[in-house]
Structure 1
Amino acid sequence: MDGSFQVSDAATPYVQINAVGKVYASPRGDVVALEDINLDIRPGEFVSIVGPSGCGKSTLFKCLAGLEPVTSGAMHVAGGPLSGPPESLGMVFQRDVLLDWRTILDNVLLQAEFRNLPKAKYRDRAAQLLQRFGLGGFEKMYPWELSGGMRQRASICRALLCDPDMLLMDEPFGALDAMTRDDLNLELTRIWQGSEKTVLFITHSIAEAVYLSDRVVMMSRSPGEIVDVIDIDLPRPRPLSIRETPEFGAYTQKIRHHFAELGILKE
């Protein structure tokens, strides 16, 4: 296996990851986090990354967000080499990282402040996003007054405020209850299908990856490398009930079986 997973159509990829490696220095010696990562992602594609803890998924995201330099190889975003945080990027983390001393509306508007954009210009959009994600009427409340699911909704609104071309989502629903997770999966797919955003999504849930994605990227144990990319050929829009179909089950079983062959999961 050459570890190369390029797109097959003629469209110029929005994201190009070429032979990327990442090594961390430590007192006990170098730690190889990523090794020979090759991946092209189409404009507007939804790609999920699954793999065991410690396989380098979050490291890959940090490099793609321009927060960590790569040790070897290169990354390109929107046709240009990546040398810092991409201009049009939104990020959602596993923790909502809201500021407890700011209202929910002001937390969402923080994205505009970071970019030195006029808050007044984005206030209406922030309110509209909060309404869309079921937070209408909570604008003046503080994060500590909201549930975990509501806080995470607010963090997604913050990432979407400036209408980014690319969203990086690092296991954003992992700490939520099943019903809230399902609800946010539905809302995320509606947002994505109504836009042209390129989405990279980290999850430990194989079923969630299959439900959300056009392609599922499988990563091995450390040092992290891509072992397969699975195309998900299921019709859109996808109701939650699609998870009960034989076709959906065949995809989850295929991914689970592959991980079992690698010794990562037990069957």
Structure 2
Amino acid sequence: MASAVPNLAIDRVGKVYPSSHGAVTALKDINLAIAPGEFVSIVGPSGCGKSTLLKCVAGLEPISSGSIAVHGKPLDGPPDALGVVFQRDVLLDWRTILDNVLLQAEFLGHSKAEYRPKAQQLLERFGLSGFEDRHPWELSGGMRQRASICRALLCEPELLLMDEPFGALDAMTRDDLNVELARIWQGTNKTVMFITHSIPEAVFLSDRVVLMSRSPGEIVDIIDIDLPRPRSLSIRESAAFGDYTHRIRHHFAELGIVQE
């Protein structure tokens, strides 16, 4: 994973929001470098600034201090070669599933006809073949989120940002998409920053897990995950997997965030 230039470099980043009751510090002195092809998850309690950090990296929120560089270039807006998946799928109900996926190409000024075969290939890969002409309201939540991931992957982003994309799904669907995401990531070598509340999910997917404290959000630890790949769900039954989840939970317990 080592690289002279990280795909994402976050240096002493702070984020402060004004309010009628005074300034609110959402992020404080965030330092994180993510190498090309690395999968990094960020875990922390609600309100710790995880989603705010992702929006800053996506160029959707200005930072108050520090700097962010993507592909070695200082961030001054949404970076090139970026894909974003939010917790809500934000599909457009008046467009078919195929046209929702192709929206990414349209947004970037590409030809829909050129990207149609790639969109159909992604939909097939995510188990949505035969649903291309359906509308979002005709699909389950898990199927909609699959389509959302297809849209984010359509134009081959180098950096993929995922903000609790499976948080609203049932446990079985979430497990299924975890496995599919891990398989897709390993086959495409994307750089991924993944936000989650789930410690087991973070351990299962990641090369490293970043732990954040309560607001103001600070990084309190970064844990390397040394588990073999490819990973199946059965790895969650291993002693090594249990050791990682216990270590992370114990760290949060020491901070008073969870109970052991």
TM-score tier (shorter):
over 0.9
1:159 matches 2:146: no
In structure 1, C-alpha distance between the alignment counterparts of 2:79 and 2:141, rounded to whole Å: 29
In structure 2, stretches of 5+ residues that fail to align are: none
Task: Give the equivalent residue in structure 1 for 2:205.
Answer: 212
After superposition, give the CA deviation of every residue in 1:137-192 in whole Å (9 maximum; x if it has no partner): 00000000000000000000000000100100000001111111111111111111
In structure 2, C-alpha distance between the alignment counterparts of 1:266 and 1:222, rounded to whole Å: 18
Matches within 5 A, 1:11-50: 11-50=4-43
Task: Give the equivalent residue in structure 1 for 2:245.
Answer: 252
Q: CA RMSD in A?
A: 0.8
In structure 2, C-alpha distance between the alignment counterparts of 1:77 and 1:146, rounded to whole Å: 35
Deviation of 1:196 after TM superposition, in Å, equals: 1.9
Deviation of 1:18 after TM superposition, in Å, equals: 0.4
Deviation of 1:195 after TM superposition, in Å, equals: 1.2
Task: Give the equivalent residue in structure 2 for 1:109.
Answer: 102
Please give the TM-score of this superposition, normalised by the length of structure 1. 0.96
SS at match of 1:140: coil
Task: Give the equivalent residue in structure 2 for 1:149.
Answer: 142
Identity of aligned residues (%): 75
Deviating above 3 A after TM superposition, structure 1's stretches of 4 or more consecutive aligned residues are none
Is the CA contact 2:54–2:161 (under 8 Å) kept in the aligned structure 1?
yes
Task: Give the equivalent residue in structure 2 for 1:240.
Answer: 233
Deviation of 1:87 after TM superposition, in Å, equals: 0.5
Task: Give the equivalent residue in structure 2 for 1:64.
Answer: 57
In structure 2, C-alpha distance between the alignment counterparts of 1:10 and 1:95, rounded to whole Å: 33
After superposition, give the CA deviation of every residue in 1:68-99 in whole Å (9 maximum; x if it has no partner): 11000000010110111010000000000000
In structure 1, stretches of 5+ residues that fail to align are: 1-6
Name the amino acid aligned to 2:25: V
In structure 2, C-alpha distance between the alignment counterparts of 1:10 and 1:155, rounded to whole Å: 30
Of 217, 222, 245 in structure 2, the residue corresponding to residue 224 of structure 1 is 217
Name the amino acid aligned to 1:221: R
